[in-house]
Amino acid sequence: MGTALLALAAGGCAGLGRGLLVPVAKLPAEGKTRTVLAVTTRSPAPDQPGHLFSGERGDKARYASLILSLPKGRAPGSVPTNPESPDPDKHIALIAARELDADGFAGFARSELKTRRRALVFTHGYNTQFDEAVVRLAQIVDDTGYGGLPVLFSWPSRGEVRDYGYDKDSANFSRDAMAELLARLARDPGIDGIDVFAHSMGNWLTLESLRQLAIAKDEKTLARLGTIVLAAPDVDMDVFRTQIARLRPLTSRIVLYASRDDYALGLSRRLFGGKIRAGENTDLGQFRGLGIEAHDLSAVAGGVGRNHNKAFGDGTTIATIGRAIASGAGSGRQEGSSLNERIETFGRSVTLLGDALIPGPPL
C-alpha cells in the first residue's frame, strides 16, 4: 500500500516556506474530516515541510490518500489555514497522509466507490502548489456537499507568478496522466459517474485530456462523465472552440463560469497576443452556440485572487455549483444566465465570504 508520507512533512526547507500539510497532533473537537485521494505528476518534496510534492515534474504518476479536518463554523467559500501553527478546531489542517502505489490507489477507490458511486476529479490552475490544491479541494467538497469520492489531479505548477510558461508546459506534460486517471475511474465496476471541476489553466489540461479521449474514441470513459465545471478557463477562445468541436457529445454536461473583470485572465490575454480567454468572455451567446451552459460572475465580489477565484471563493456561487453537480448538467438548467438571475430565482443575495487565507493568490 505504499510508504507513509508523514515523514516528508518533517524535513528541512529547500526554497519554499512551510506548507499547509504538516500533520496536526490532535483531532478536531467538533469539526469534521474529509478524505481525498490525490494523483500527481509532480516529484516528491522530502525536504519541503508541509508540501509533500514539489513543483518539479516527476518521472511517473504518484498517488496518495489524505485526511483533512474542517473546523466547525467555517464560512462557505473561506479557507482558514495556518502553516506555522495549524489548529484543526480553527483551520483546515492535515490529519494524516499516506502514499499509495497504483494498485493501492485502485483498491482504495474501488472500496470507496462501492458506497459512494461517484467521483469528483478536481484540477487546479497556474501558480498553485500541491498543498494549496489539496486544501482547496477539501473546501470545495465541503461547500458543495459532494457525497462522492474526491480525487485531486495535481500537475507540476511551481506556484510562482514568473513561471507561467513552465506551468503551461507542465499542464501539457500531464495530459496523458489525467486521461489515464479518468479512464481508470471509468472502468471501476462500482462507479456510476465522474464529475470534473477545473480551474484556470487546469481547464486547458482538462479539455486537452477530454479531447484526447474523444480522438481515441474511448466511449466508455466519455459515457461515464457527469457534470464538467469549467471555472475561469484560461484558454484562448478560438482554441476553446476547436477543443469543444471534438467534444460535442459532452457539451450538454458542461457548465462554465466567466467574469469580465478577471484580472488574471486579462494578464494572460496580453501575454498571448490580445486574444480573449474563455473565462473572461461574458458574451454568453457564444457559449450557447456551442451547446454549453455558461454563467456571468461579473457581479460577484472578487476578493483576493485578482477576481479569479470567484467560483469557489463566494459562498453562494459554490453552493450553486454544488446544485449543478448534484442535479447533473442539462437537468433543469437555465441556459446562459448570469449568476444574479439564478440568485434571484433562489431569493438570495450575493455575499462575499472571502478567499484570503491561502497564502498568495493561486491562479
Q: CA–CA separation, 210 vs 224, rounded Å?
A: 12
Q: Any bridge partners for residue 57, and if so which?
A: 42
Least confident of 26-40, 157-171, 252-266: 26-40
**Please, which pLDDT band fits residue 331 given cuts at 50, 70 and 90?**
very low
- For residue range 117-149, list pLDDT tens digits in order: 999 999 999 999 999 999 999 999 999 999 999
**152 DSSP 8-state letter:** E
State pTM to two decimals. Answer: 0.87
**For the chain, which domains are there?**
6-345 (3.40.50.1820)
| 260-269: b (≥16 Cβ within 10 Å) or e | bbbebbbbbb
3-state percent helix, strand, coil for the chain, nearest multiple of 5: 40, 20, 40
> Which stretch of 223-232, 240-249, 276-285, 323-332 has the lowest confidence by average pLDDT?
323-332
Q: In the predicted model, is pLDDT for residue 166 greater than 90?
A: yes
pLDDT, residue 303, reads: 57
What percent of the chain stands above pLDDT 70?
Answer: 85
Average pLDDT, the chain: 87
| Beta strand pairing call for 32-44 and 53-70 | antiparallel
Bigger pLDDT: 345 or 274? Answer: 274
Taking a C-beta distance cutoff of 8 angstroms, is the pair 290, 277 a contact? Answer: no
* Model confidence pLDDT, tens digit, residues 208-266: 999 999 999 999 999 999 999 999 999 999 999 999 999 988 999 999 999 999 999 99
Query: In this structure, what DSSP letter does residue 4 have?
Result: B
Q: Minimal CA–CA distance to 262: which of 286, 282, 279, 237?
A: 279
In percent, the amount of the chain with pLDDT more than 90 equals 79
Q: What is the pLDDT of residue 288?
A: 96
Asked if 108 contacts 37 with a C-beta cutoff of 8 angstroms, the reply is: yes
| Helix or strand (DSSP H, E) at 68 | strand 53-70
**Of 227-236, 274-283, 334-343, which range is least confident?**
334-343
- pLDDT (tens digit, 9 = 90+) per residue, 68-124? 999 999 999 999 999 999 999 999 999 999 999 999 999 999 999 999 999 999 999
Mean pLDDT of 46-59: 95
Given this model, what pLDDT does residue 31 score? 83
**Interatomic CA distance for residues 46 and 347, integer angstroms:** 50
Cβ-in-10-Å burial (0-12, 13-18, 19+) of 15 comes to: exposed
Diameter over CA atoms, the chain = 53
